[in-house]
Structure 1
Amino acid sequence: MTVKPDWLRVKAPQFERVGKVKDTLRDLELNTVCEEASCPNIGECFQKGTATFLIMGPACTRACPYCDIDFEKKPQPLDPTEPLRLAEAVRRMGLNHVVITSVNRDDLSDDGSSQFVRCIEETRKLSPKTTIELLIPDLCGHWDALATILEAEPDVLNHNIETIPRLYRRVRPQGDYARSLELLQKTRELAPWIYTKSGLMVGWDETEAEVKAVMDDLRKVDCDIVTIGQYLQPTQKHLGVKQFVTPETFAEWRKYGESIGFLQVVSSPLTRSSYHAEQVQTLMKQHPRSKSYHQSSVR
């Protein structure tokens, strides 16, 4: 299947706003997942003045066959100036909510956790009112690295489950479905005041029942937010699209997710894990959480 249906066509962005965001990113020498992963929403997000920052890259130590991020280049040592440059971009762009993600850095002894922490610290110095969402890899199951990240207290901890268990070997060969669920469960246990989030892509011949089963698994580990979007093949060398899921089916998954207790379900063909991520601020006002309350309740 190569012809996209009408519901996957996006409007061309206004160049003036997009160009301003790109100028900021180039000036500060920052990468974004919007560009590196060929996100279809790049025009809309750049036009609104938002971006999802990609740290520790652009080279990745894994070769997921759906992802357009480069895995052929050799990963470089971490840049100690990157966190400050990222924080400066957040300040210049006036972001109320920022999403920070990374490539996989399985080559690092701490899986990159210290760089996430420094990005949080520097951002809070320059933009103390900005809420911070981290979209992290599975950290190879090193829960001490996860604990290090959580101690820095991001507002939202996101880790994508990506696909259904049956397709893991084909779609995410270096990942592990149970490990991803455990990461979310550990986050809830270690820092119950932090909002947890996960997402998956569809279009690889999964059934509606299988998608709902993943949503059930995410709720079993008390995941707060789930995103579901249509997979689009970045290039001919990547996994192909097996089916284009209809907007009606995405709407059904949204209703199902809400019925089983997710605080927020973002489900549509163009949804990506950080698409409209700033909406979490409304959720945080409606369902406030306090670190001091959780700590006092276990004494």
Structure 2
Amino acid sequence: MPRFSKRSGREVLEGHVRLPAWIVRERMNLGELHAMKKDLRASDLHTVCEEARCPNRTHCFNHGTATFLLMGDTCTRACGFCSIRSGKPAPLDPREPEETALRVQALGLRFAVLTSVNRDDLPDGGAAHLARTIRAIRAHNPGVGVEVLTPDFMGNLEAVAEVVAAGPAVFNHNTETVPSLYPEVRPAGRFERSLAVLAKAKELGTALFGPAFATKSGLMLGLGETEAELMAVFEALAGAGVDILTLGQYLRPTRHQLPVKAYVHPDAFAELGRKAKALGFRAVYAGPLVRSSFNAHEVSEMEGISIA
């Protein structure tokens, strides 16, 4: 892949890592960010924007989008890239679906993205809880789009069907990286399992809602993958009927997560995006700060995709 930065993309100064010049975070409106966080905390809700230290959280908040982290803030898995704590989760909060819907309404969101920790302790992986939340948001917020970013449900396709039947505009499940890196990056994940989840979601969603239903997946770059491996994943995702692909730079959340192997130049992202788009995806978002739910509100402007 062309134009990776030297020394694995990092410049070390006095024990700190300086990011390449092309990775520039937006200046945060701290007042608005604090108000959003205070409002969410008052309802005991979490956003992955905060829990995973997303660099785009102010951008999304300012565009009427937030990604809600459901089913607690403790994950049953321990992925190498993720800063969300792992351990034994608390029981599900039965108030959470309704409370999330009311927060979406109170915050005046245009688009709500729902994700969750992995809940391998639950028989359905939390699918019913996600479905209830989607239905609650749609009931309280006509016209607001809902995207759901799901776990792999340990390959339980009945769980996939339950979430799809609730009617999200977009069903998202991230493959995260190339199969050869799963032992480090997603040790409890399986690439073929994730591919099966996406293919089933597309099949069921199209049958229920027609071509307006969209599926989505995303990968992080800079963990040691090759371009040939990436192209093989793109082809597999296109073959599974995935509509939307996101490609972003992996940024190490804390020193406890996997180190960055390389920082990918924007030109390389653009070239990968062009190659992926040629495979038939309806939309490809590729760039250093692109994240899975980044610019999710733009789905409402995409031809042939209905948000509500």
Measured against the shorter chain, the TM-score band is over 0.9
Q: Does 1:152 align with 2:176?
A: no
The match for 1:101 is 115
The match for 2:284 is 265
What does the per-residue CA deviation read over 1:51-101, in whole Å, with 9 as the maximum and x for residues that have no partner? Answer: 2000001000000011000103x2011001111111011101111211000
**2-side partners of 1:272 and 1:148: how far apart?**
26
Moved more, 48-57 or 155-164: 48-57
* Structure 2: segments with no counterpart, 5+ residues: 1-9, 11-16
**1-side partners of 2:199 and 2:141: how far apart?**
30
The match for 2:137 is 123
CA-CA distance at 1:46 after TM superposition = 3.0
Q: What TM-score, normalized by structure 1, do the two folds share?
A: 0.93
**2-side partners of 1:143 and 1:11: how far apart?**
39
Structural mapping, 1:51-70, within 5 Å: 51-70=66-85
3-state SS of the aligned residue for 2:281? coil
* Structure 1: segments with no counterpart, 5+ residues: 290-299
Q: Does 1:212 align with 2:199?
A: no
**2-side partners of 1:23 and 1:49: how far apart?**
16
Give the percent of matched residue pairs that are identical in Structure 1 and Structure 2: 45
What does the per-residue CA deviation read over 1:218-259, in whole Å, with 9 as the maximum and x for residues that have no partner? Answer: 001110000000001111121000000000010011111221
Among 243, 252, 257, the alignment partner of 2:271 is 252
| Contact 1:17–1:49 (CA under 8 A) maintained in structure 2 | no
The match for 2:188 is 174
Q: What TM-score, normalized by structure 2, do the two folds share?
A: 0.90
| Count of residues in correspondence between the two structures | 287
What does the per-residue CA deviation read over 1:105-152, in whole Å, with 9 as the maximum and x for residues that have no partner? Answer: 000011101111110111112102111100000000111111111111
What does the per-residue CA deviation read over 1:256-291, in whole Å, with 9 as the maximum and x for residues that have no partner? Answer: 1221111010000001000001111111xx1257xx
**1-side partners of 2:301 and 2:63: how far apart?**
18
**1-side partners of 2:43 and 2:188: how far apart?**
32
Q: Does 1:41 align with 2:56?
A: yes
Q: Does 1:91 align with 2:91?
A: no
CA-CA distance at 1:44 after TM superposition = 2.2
**2-side partners of 1:288 and 1:19: how far apart?**
33
CA-CA distance at 1:12 after TM superposition = 2.3
3-state SS of the aligned residue for 2:103? helix
**2-side partners of 1:81 and 1:139: how far apart?**
22
Alignment RMSD, CA only? 1.5
Moved more, 262-271 or 2-11: 2-11
Q: Does 1:275 align with 2:294?
A: yes
Q: Does 1:287 align with 2:304?
A: yes
The match for 2:178 is 164
Among 19, 22, 47, the alignment partner of 1:4 is 19
* Structure 1 moving runs of 4+ over 4 Å: none
Partner amino acid, structure 2, of 1:135? L
Partner amino acid, structure 1, of 2:100? L
The match for 1:295 is none
| Contact 2:65–2:296 (CA under 8 A) maintained in structure 1 | no
Partner amino acid, structure 2, of 1:195? A
Moved more, 15-24 or 248-257: 15-24
Ranked by relative contact order (alpha carbons within 8 Å, sequence separation 6 or more), the top structure is 2
**2-side partners of 1:137 and 1:152: how far apart?**
16
